């Protein structure tokens, strides 16, 4: 069990991408958050319980995105210093 940081790039800001991701992650039962970054990318931090099944599920949601988004690339890595005070999924501003 580990926190992971995913960064989506492409046309992912101002196209309801965060809202789509947040709702899809809640439906899938993930904990974490999604937020815009200053460089035009979107960061999604998620608690992964089973890497083999959860990471492909997360990537599928992030790749799909909102109807107006165009995801070009997603990078991800485990992270240690995460501050999440939620038992669900939230949009951070």
Residue 3, exposed/middle/buried by CB under 10 A (0-12, 13-18, 19+)? middle
Where in the chain are the domains? Answer: 2-84
What are residue 33's DSSP bridge partners?
A: 45, 90
**25-41 tens-digit pLDDT:** 999 999 999 999 999 99
Q: What is the pTM (predicted TM-score) of this model?
A: 0.95
Q: What is the pLDDT of residue 3?
A: 95
pLDDT > 90? residue 92: yes
Q: CB within 8 A of 60, min separation 6: which ones?
A: none
Consecutive H or E run containing 27: helix 17-28
Rg, Å, the chain Cα set: 12
Average pLDDT of the residues of the chain: 95
2-84, what's its fold? Alpha-Beta Plaits (3.30.70)
| Cα distance between residue 23 and residue 83, in whole Å | 20
Active site residues: 18, 36
């Amino acid at each position: 069990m580990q926190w992971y940081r995913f960064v989506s790039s492409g046309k992912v800001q101002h196209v309801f991408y965060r809202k789509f991701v947040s709702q899809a992650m809640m439906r899938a039962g993930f904990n974490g958050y999604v937020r815009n970054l200053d460089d035009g990318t979107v960061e999604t931090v998620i608690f992964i319980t089973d890497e083999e099944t959860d990471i492909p599920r997360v990537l599928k949601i992030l790749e799909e995105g909102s109807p107006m988004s165009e995801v070009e690339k997603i990078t991800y890595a485990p992270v240690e210093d995460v501050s999440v005070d939620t038992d669900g999924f939230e949009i951070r501003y």
